[in-house]
């Protein structure tokens, strides 16, 4: 019982119901008090207006007749006017309504030629509001007093207050019940989502949370969670593929090294410089490069690439890489370089150039082209070759990891299927874009656009 009395142990429906009931109760209290004040003012004003109107009518009659000749209708009482007195200059009541007293309702000295309303009576047992005026008539000076009662006003106010007090609990209870029911019904969808999420495990990410039919914040939450689950599923699948492909790629150089070492173990005389430089070292270097590529992509997946920012002359980097390629390749390397400076990581951009040029060198028939230019606030780097080209439907897929389109892009050719993936990651980290087009004259060209300033 103590825990139920503690608001911290209440559920959202209960807290919503209490809050709704409190707000409605406060609103009712404020509205009720305001209504009673306005009603009291309105009724008092109406009573005072009725008494003042009677004073005006009696004064008009006395200008033509004596008090004894007054029409009895002017001296009758009703729900608003309860007493009428006509007093002469000596302070004697010379004409009055049947229920009026024989003594003035208020001291006659308080009455002036200017009509006054809302004067409190002197009799303590009667709650009267008196309107009075002193007039000068042809037959003498008179004082006219008309009293309006406030008992009926108080009775009306009490009745309204009782009705408001009796209706308030009903309205508050209805508001609390409606709020509780609405929130409880809305939370059923949340509970369904929570139940489904608790059943989803990493072994099966294909499950999705139910989406309510009505369009509201909860349905938007469900759609967002389903989109998040889809991204997690895609990432999990990509991670599994990545691990599987990485294991497959590392198995080949490891198998070659282990095989060579086993031969050397069985036949020590064969473990010579030729075996070391011809088999062991190339496979070790290949495995080292593959491990470095895998680590770079893993860091990019985890938190993005951390790049140093400095002024980089892309044309200078391209010239250096073209010089290196001419020393190791039998293909013709043609350059068209114009000054282009950007803000970026020189080492990372060098890796982009090297990966693109190595890829072009593997597939070119005889020619590799490199061009750099600066325009429209971006440096554009284009690397082309006169090789067999890449089909248009596969130009986006080649930027995925461990993708080889045909036998020419094989492990024996030196490619691991990670070069263009690394290019895409580095270019994206620089805020740029990379795309593949047909080269005029045949072949492929890779176009990289890098903003001049990040």
- Class of residue 363 by CB neighbours under 10 A (exposed 0-12, middle 13-18, buried 19+): buried
pLDDT at residue 409 in the model: 40
C-alpha–C-alpha distance, residues 56 and 74, integer Å:
10
pLDDT at 3: 54
Query: Which pLDDT score is estimated for 115?
Result: 86
CATH architecture of 16-155: 2-Layer Sandwich (3.30)
Nearest to 279 by CA among 301, 296, 257: 257
Domain boundaries along the sequence of the chain:
16-155, 238-301, 307-451
Q: Write down the residue that tokens 């009696």 correspond to.
A: 58
Q: Which residues does 57 contact at the CB level (< 8 Å), separation at least 6?
A: 74
Give the span between the Cα atoms of 7 and 14, in whole angstroms.
9
E strand spans, 206-325: 310-313
| Residue 361 to residue 178: CA distance in whole angstroms | 74
**Whole-number Å distance between alpha carbons of 127 and 154:** 10
Residue numbers of the chain with a pLDDT score lower than 70: 1-9, 121-126, 202-203, 242, 244-246, 248-250, 252, 269-271, 275, 279, 286, 300-306, 403-416, 453-454
Confirm or reject CATH 1.10.287 for domain 238-301, answering yes or no.
Answer: yes
pLDDT for the residue numbered 221: 85
Count CB neighbours of 50 within 10 A: 17
pLDDT reported for residue 128: 83
Please tell me the predicted confidence (pLDDT) of residue 26. Answer: 93
Domain 307-451, second-level architecture: 2-Layer Sandwich (3.30)
> E-strand spans in 110-244?
116-120, 128-137, 140-149
- The residues near 120 (Cβ < 8 Å, ≥ 6 apart) are 128, 129, 130
pTM of the model: 0.49
Euclidean distance between CA atoms 380 and 357, whole angstroms: 15
Query: Which DSSP letter does residue 77 get?
Result: -
- Tokens 């139920």 correspond to 4
Distances (CA, A) of 71 to 23, 87, 342, 421: 57, 16, 108, 111
Under 8 Å between Cβ of 268 and 245:
no
């Amino acid at each position: 019982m103590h825990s139920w009395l503690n608001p911290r142990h209440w559920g959202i429906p209960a807290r919503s119901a209490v809050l709704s009931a409190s707000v409605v109760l406060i609103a009712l209290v404020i509205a009720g008090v305001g209504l009673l004040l306005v009603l009291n003012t309105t009724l008092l004003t109406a009573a005072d207006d009725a008494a003042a109107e009677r004073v005006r009518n009696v004064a008009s009659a006395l200008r033509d007749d004596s008090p004894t000749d007054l029409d009895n209708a002017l001296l009758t009482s009703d729900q608003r006017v309860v007493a009428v007195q006509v007093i002469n200059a000596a302070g004697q009541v010379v004409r009055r309504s049947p229920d009026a007293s024989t003594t003035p309702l208020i001291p006659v000295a308080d009455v002036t030629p200017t009509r006054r309303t809302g004067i409190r009576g002197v009799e303590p047992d009667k709650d009267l509001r008196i309107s009075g005026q002193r007039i000068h008539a042809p037959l003498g000076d008179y004082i006219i007093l008309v009293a309006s009662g406030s008992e009926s006003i108080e009775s009306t106010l009490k009745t309204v207050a009782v009705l408001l007090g009796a209706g308030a609990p009903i309205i508050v209870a209805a508001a609390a019940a409606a709020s509780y029911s609405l929130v409880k019904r809305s939370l059923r969808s949340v509970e369904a989502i929570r139940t489904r999420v608790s059943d989803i495990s990493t072994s099966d990410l294909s499950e999705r949370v139910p989406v309510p039919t009505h369009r509201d914040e909860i349905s938007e939450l469900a759609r967002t969670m389903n989109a998040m689950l889809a991204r997690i599923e895609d990432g999990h699948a990509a991670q599994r593929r990545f691990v599987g492909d990485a294991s497959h790629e590392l198995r080949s150089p490891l198998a070659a090294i282990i095989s060579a070492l086993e031969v050397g173990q069985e036949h020590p005389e064969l473990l010579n410089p030729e075996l070391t430089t011809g088999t062991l070292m190339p496979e070790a270097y290949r495995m080292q490069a593959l491990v470095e590529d895998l680590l770079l992509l893993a860091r990019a997946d985890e938190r993005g690439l951390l790049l140093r920012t400095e002024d980089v002359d892309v044309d200078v980097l391209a010239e250096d890489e073209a010089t290196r390629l001419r020393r190791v390749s039998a293909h013709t390397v043609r350059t068209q370089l114009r000054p282009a400076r950007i803000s970026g990581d020189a080492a990372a951009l060098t890796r982009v150039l090297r990966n693109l040029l190595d890829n072009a060198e593997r597939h070119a028939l005889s020619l590799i082209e490199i061009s750099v230019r600066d325009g429209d606030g971006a440096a554009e780097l284009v690397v082309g070759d006169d090789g067999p080209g890449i089909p248009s439907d596969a130009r986006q897929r080649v930027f995925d990891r461990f993708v080889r389109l045909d036998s020419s892009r094989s492990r024996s050719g030196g490619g691991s299927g990670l070069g263009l993936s690394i290019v895409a990651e580095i270019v994206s980290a620089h805020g740029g874009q990379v795309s593949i087009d047909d080269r005029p004259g045949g072949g492929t060209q890779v176009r990289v656009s890098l903003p001049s300033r990040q």
